[in-house]
Amino acid sequence: MLQSHLFTKTRKEGPKNEVSANANFLIRAGFIHKEMAGVYDYLPLGLRVIENIRNIIREEMNALGCQEVSLSALQDPEIWNKSGRWSDDVVDVWFKTKLKNDVLLGLGATHEEPMVRMVSEHVRSYRDLPLYTYQFQTKFRNELRSKSGIMRGREFLMKDMYSFCRSEAELDAFYDKAALAYKKIFERVGIGDRTYFTFASGGMFSKFSHEFQTVCGAGEDFIYIDEEKRIAVNDEVMQDDILKSLGIERSKLRKEKSIEVGNIFKYGTRYTKELGLNFMDEDGNEQPVINGAYGIGLGRLMGTVVEIFADAKGLVWPEAIAPFKFHLIEIVGGGDTGDSVRKEAIELYDKLNSNGVSVLYDDRDLRAGEKFGDSDLIGIPWRIVVSSKTGTDGPYEVKNRKTGEVKMVTLNEILEL
């Protein structure tokens, strides 16, 4: 992409009414636009990050044998009444609306009930199971507070996956595989070393669950970490009987603030019994399907990465989810020298593109300091500078945004990166 074609502009200051670091940086760098508290638009750079996160998650879900679907956000109260979750006293984050004929509908905060109903039309026999479905879908939650930027929105994109099994043992086996897939996702995104498998409350979903909590000072949770076992316990279920069941000694735990970046639940027959999702076993007996659910908020994950890695200058993207791999900057002077620099920059840009390398080319007519400042704020992993000091075909000045290391490299060395 040519930066002169990018309609978004950077800002020196963030909006005065935005208290979260992630939203401040993302708004200043032109990645998101704030519609209102808890509601954000993704601009071209931000959408590229979200799509990179989506692709990582999709690859890991597909590797598990899951099938992607897309369900409606509009929700029928009938199935939620059957499960007992239509009442605001049970689920206090509902957005509800009426059709013109006064029929009441909800906007989906989660999708257990509609997914179970949809699957019930396609499962008859034990031969139809196990079955794993997932989607990337916009959720709506009427949060009382929404001051954490894109980490806690009233409208947000979630990956929710559901497992439908014939037995508890079959669910347990898949659950363990899903937990490993989640670990791979967080490792690929770049936060695996500070993300812990965490025992937690199930909230509105089930009695207990497991979360993936990432240590970060901007978090809303507190966890107690056993570093040796790489597991943690959420503060809300920090009880001696739970520690004993996990084989954890209280004296070995350290307390940290953290952000929940994923969660997984074993429901058993919760939802499937209420909604009549059954199958005929090998003996011809009708049995309820055994259910599980697995969620990751894409915006929350993106915001967590910002909170962890951003520095005083701006964003610092891990390579796997960065909007571009390289930020190519031309520093053009006057006369023939300026023309030759631009020609060299364009040729390098074309060579990178022809080799399938994603690059943002800053071809704008601005001073070097402004370009470098914007580059630091946008946070692309590698910055390449073409200037009058650069010979034909390099070597080029390349800077690592994360470490600050600067070195002169050839085109072939850039491609090896």
Q: What is the pLDDT of residues 236-294, one digit of tens each?
A: 999 998 899 889 999 999 999 999 999 999 999 999 999 999 999 999 999 999 999 99
Residues 6+ apart with CB under 8 A from 342: 330, 332, 363
Tokens of 27: 């708004």
Q: Are 384 and 343 in contact (CB under 8 A)?
A: no
Distance CA 92, CA 98 (A): 18
CA 273 to chain centre: 32
Q: Mean per-residue pLDDT for 3-13? A: 94
The reported pLDDT for the residue numbered 84 is 95
**Residue position matching structure tokens 């994109």:** 157
Q: Are 212 and 260 in contact (CB under 8 A)?
A: yes
pLDDT, the chain, mean: 94
Tell the burial category of 54 from Cβ atoms under 10 Å away from its Cβ (0-12, 13-18, 19+): middle
The reported pLDDT for the residue numbered 394 is 73
Collapsing DSSP states into helix, strand and coil, what is residue 68?
Answer: strand
Q: Are 400 and 379 in contact (CB under 8 A)?
A: no
Distance CA 381, CA 317 (A): 6
The reported pLDDT for the residue numbered 211 is 96
Q: Are 277 and 164 in contact (CB under 8 A)?
A: yes
- Do the bridges between strand 286-288 and strand 278-280 make them parallel or antiparallel, or are there none, so unpaired? antiparallel
Whether the per-residue pLDDT at 185 is higher than 80: the answer is yes
Q: Mean per-residue pLDDT for 347-357? A: 93
User: Which domains are present in the chain?
Assistant: 7-309 (3.30.930.10), 326-416 (3.40.50.800)
Collapsing DSSP states into helix, strand and coil, what is residue 294?
Answer: strand
Residues 6+ apart with CB under 8 A from 170: 129, 130, 290
Whether the per-residue pLDDT at 205 is higher than 60: the answer is no
The reported pLDDT for the residue numbered 182 is 98
Report which of 220, 207, 215, 216 is spatially closest to residue 232, judged by C-alpha positions: 215
Range name among 90-104, 281-295, 391-405 with the lowest pLDDT average: 391-405
Q: Are 262 and 295 in contact (CB under 8 A)?
A: yes
Q: What is the DSSP string of 115-142?
A: HHHHHHTT--BGGG-SEEEEEEEEEE--
pTM of the predicted model as reported, rounded to 2 decimal places: 0.95
**Residue position matching structure tokens 């995104």:** 189
The reported pLDDT for the residue numbered 337 is 67
Q: What is the DSSP string of 362-391?
A: E--S--HHHHHHHHHHHT-SEEEEE-TTPP
Q: Assign 46 a pLDDT band (cuts: 50, 70, 90).
A: very high
